[in-house]
Amino acid sequence: MKEHKAGFISIVGKPNVGKSTLMNQLVGEKLSIITSKAQTTRHRIMGIVNGETEDFDFQLVYSDTPGIIKPLYELHNAMMEFVHGSIEDGDVILFVTDIYEKYDEEDVIQKLQKCQSPIILIINKIDLSTPEIVQEKIDHWKAVLNPSLILSISALQKVGIDGLLENIINLMPVHPPYFPKEELTDKPERFFAAEIIREKIFLNYKKEVPYSCEVVITAFKESDDIIKVSSEIYVERATQRAILLGHKGERIKVVGTEARKEMEQFFGKKVFLEQYIKVEPDWRQQKNKLERFGY
Ligand code: GDP
Ligand code: K
Ligand code: MG
């Protein structure tokens, strides 16, 4: 019998450095939504990978997390709780930075310095950089954090991912699996349906509107050949509802079509999608409303 290794790998870092892109590459599935906007990821999302090497079987449980920010809303406090929980649970921390990152991350560094688990510091987006700049970043991070390992990668172009994977597996403790071997994630299908809609909203609207939206799946009924999904999109103000709808509802229709197509790919089945837009004043500021939305 081979030995079994298993552990939690927490992916943390500032907004937009490529955490979700990296998570999806490591898991081999698009579990986490990706946009060029900061604060797209609001929850801790686990992605589970099972595999084997010559010497042992393994289960890697990755957590993608929201980008580290200074909280402005009650929602942000809940998001940062996911990040702190992740750092505390991680057997290995992947601290993701990119070649643009400004050196103003005191708060994060303090938290990481106290962390007992090994930290792999990742410099992402090297496809947009030069070896000289990458070396500068490596020197900087050695000086301020001195992590167990520094790797430079391009999550988008899959450069350096295999090397990273090898290092992660090496650092995993001997432990039985935490999740059944057929499970891909800790989140239910409804969660992904809502996230897919949220991503399409982020991609189709500018400025504040996507940030004011929350998506709730009110029905998810799967039969042999189709999944019927009903969703409610909450905004904070009637004006945002009008923007979301667009003239004669044309703009939200685009969101619906894009989301339905992606759901069909994700679930491998035809999807019928319903969308309702509702106003829930100041939901981002109110604890009881956030709880209802799962924060
Ligand atoms: P997160 O906020 O840290 O989760 O970052 P995302 O994964 O959402 O990515 C933010 C933006 O950076 C998206 O537009 C990605 O396509 C882009 N991105 C991520 N990784 C890379 C990379 O290696 N190279 C380049 N050029 N862009 C990347
Ligand atoms: K992002
Ligand atoms: Mg993200």
| Contact in structure between 200 and 231 (CB atoms under 8 Å) | no
- Regarding whether 207 and 106 lie in a shared domain, the answer is no
Q: What are the pLDDT digits (tens) for 113-161? A: 888 899 999 999 999 999 999 999 999 999 888 899 999 999 999 999 9
Reported ipTM: the value is 0.99
- Regarding whether 219 and 78 lie in a shared domain, the answer is no
Of 171, 204, 232, the one marking the end of a domain is 171
Burial of 107 (0-12, 13-18, 19+ CB in 10 A): exposed
**Which residues, chain by chain, have CB under 5 Å from ion ligand 3?**
19-20, 41
- Regarding whether 130 and 202 lie in a shared domain, the answer is no
Residue 294 in marked binding region = no
- Regarding whether 271 and 161 lie in a shared domain, the answer is no
Please tell me the number of the ligand nearest to residue 19's CA. Answer: 1
Q: How many CB atoms lie within 10 A of CB 247?
A: 7
Residue 17 in marked binding region = yes
Q: Using CA atoms, how far apart are residues 20 and 155, in angstroms rounded to an integer?
A: 9
Q: What are the pLDDT digits (tens) for 73-128? A: 999 999 999 998 999 899 999 999 999 877 666 777 887 888 889 999 999 999 99
| pLDDT band at residue 1 under the 50/70/90 scheme | confident
Question: pLDDT value at position 104?
Answer: 63
Dist. CA 225 → ligand 3 center (Å): 32
Residue 19 in marked binding region = yes
Q: Which helix (H) or strand (E) holds 165?
A: helix 161-171
- The domain containing residue 223 runs over which residues? 189-292
- What average pLDDT is seen over the chain? 93
- Kindly report the pTM of this predicted structure: 0.92
| Residue 42 within a domain | yes
Residue 153 in marked binding region = no
Strand partners, 233: 215, 277
Strands 45-52 and 56-64: antiparallel
**Ligand 1 atom at minimal distance to the Cα of residue 41:** 4
Dist. CA 252 → ligand 1 center (Å): 26
Question: pLDDT value at position 103?
Answer: 61
Of 136, 171, 206, the one marking the end of a domain is 171
Domain harbouring 264, CATH code: 3.30.300.20
- Regarding whether 209 and 107 lie in a shared domain, the answer is no
- Regarding whether 198 and 165 lie in a shared domain, the answer is no
| Residue 167 within a domain | yes
- Regarding whether 153 and 26 lie in a shared domain, the answer is yes
Q: E strands within 180-240?
A: 214-222, 226-235
| Residue 60 within a domain | yes
Dist. CA 29 → ligand 3 center (Å): 14
Domain harbouring 126, CATH code: 3.40.50.300
**Ligand 1 atom at minimal distance to the Cα of residue 157:** 23
- Regarding whether 66 and 37 lie in a shared domain, the answer is yes
Strand partners, 231: 217, 275
Number of domains within the chain:
2
Dist. CA 172 → ligand 1 center (Å): 26
